[in-house]
Amino acid sequence: MSELPPATHVADAAPIAQRKIVHVDMDAFYASVEQRDHPEWRGRPVVVAWRGMRSVVCAASYEARVFGVRSAMPATRAERLCPDAIFTPPDFPRYRAVSAQIRAIFHRYTDLVEPLSLDEAYLDVTHNKPGLATATAVAKQIRADIRAETELNASAGVAPNKFLAKIASDWRKPNGLFVIQPHEITDFLSPLPVRKLPGVGGATEKALAALGIVTVAELRVHPLAELVARFGKQGKRLYELARGIDERLVSPDQPRRSLSAETTFESDRSRVEVAPALDELAARVWRHVATADGAEGQAHTVVLKLKTSEFRTITRSHTPATPPSSMDELAGIAQGLLARVELDESTRYRLAGVGLSNFREALESDAQPALF
């Protein structure tokens, strides 16, 4: 496909139809970092995961994916699928350092960078800093810079909006580049199964199939009123996506929404046995808050998450009058939330998590009412 043409400079913010968005997605990021740093692992199946009955795969190299290993599958299943794989525990401080390198590259080309995770981001390159003629040229140069400076591969998608750019970045993985021009949107989307649309999970896919809708082209013929009547707000979103409409802007510097740590136990635990784990989780969260970006003490809400042996998820939260100012205070609030879980003492728990949310500036109101 040909390159997106240069945008018309009509204002500080270009019209939606004229925007040029790049989605960059690192290829098997965690596993690729491990292969880079362990040359003897290159070309071999690598699985990033803790070992244990309840561990899940964080990432799998493309060599491991050939055997069916995928992220989020149980590590024990990954071992069965690929017994010769190299298993290595995740090293998130190292991954964050590499991610910072990559984001610095992004900012050479635009300040409109919206990170989605350590390994992917949206960039609005409608007006790029080096003055390159096309978004495709920008994407090519970014990928080349990443390869030269980190020895890692990135895939990229170029399109007029975020929705399409994200689909495009996956189109020629790994180490690929794909461009969708405005006049190509309808033809590109029409044959796609509706499950490719964001927000369409198994239940929605079945509901659409019951209406005779399997592809985006079939979805597009249904009027807005019908889709809204059947799916509510999601119906409007489906109507827009079927037409390639996505007016969300690339939003840099979005405020932190939450920060959490959780653990799945080797064996189910009682409430009393869960308590010590909360102190460890609080310590993990607090270390990250204290070193990340100066947000220490500015998360106003503490959240406790539990999952029972029956896979029931319980969450409790508390917003004290002043935000927690130390690890011990965070742990104490988490322990208090655990004491307030009104389940039978015989209940067993397979997972626990501690989190912080409601991040706000220090000068905002200090007197928040307690929420529970």
Q: Catalytic one among 34, 63, 114, 120?
A: 120
Scanning the chain, the segments in alpha helix (DSSP H) are 29-37, 62-65, 75-81, 92-106, 135-150, 162-169, 185-189, 202-210, 216-220, 224-231, 233-242, 271-292, 327-339
Q: Judging by beta carbons within 10 Å of its beta carbon (0-12, 13-18, 19+), is residue 142 exposed, middle or buried?
A: buried
Long-range contacts of 135-141 (CB under 8 A, 24+ apart): 135/3, 135/4, 135/20, 135/21, 135/22, 135/179, 136/3, 136/4, 136/177, 136/179, 137/3, 138/20, 138/22, 138/109, 139/22, 139/24, 139/177, 140/177, 141/109
- Please, are residues 273 and 297 in contact by the beta-carbon 8 Å criterion? no
Are β-strands 177-179 and 154-159 bridged in parallel, bridged antiparallel, or unpaired?
A: parallel
Prior bond of 90 cis (ω within 30°): no
Round to whole Å and give the CA distance between 32 and 39.
11
Q: Assign residue 8 a region: left if phi > 0, alpha if psi is -120 to 50, beta otherwise?
A: beta
- Please, are residues 6 and 19 in contact by the beta-carbon 8 Å criterion? no
**What letter represents residue 358's amino acid?**
N
Return all residues near 28 (Cβ < 8 A) that are at least 6 apart: 59, 60, 61, 62, 65, 174
Q: Catalytic: 361?
A: no
Round to whole Å and give the CA distance between 316 and 372.
7
Order of strands, sheet of 46-48, starting from the edge strand that comes earlier in the sequence: 59-60, 46-48, 86-88
Q: Which two tokens stand for residue 277?
A: 């784990």
Q: Is 47 helix (H, G, I), strand (E, B) or coil?
A: strand
Active site residues: 120
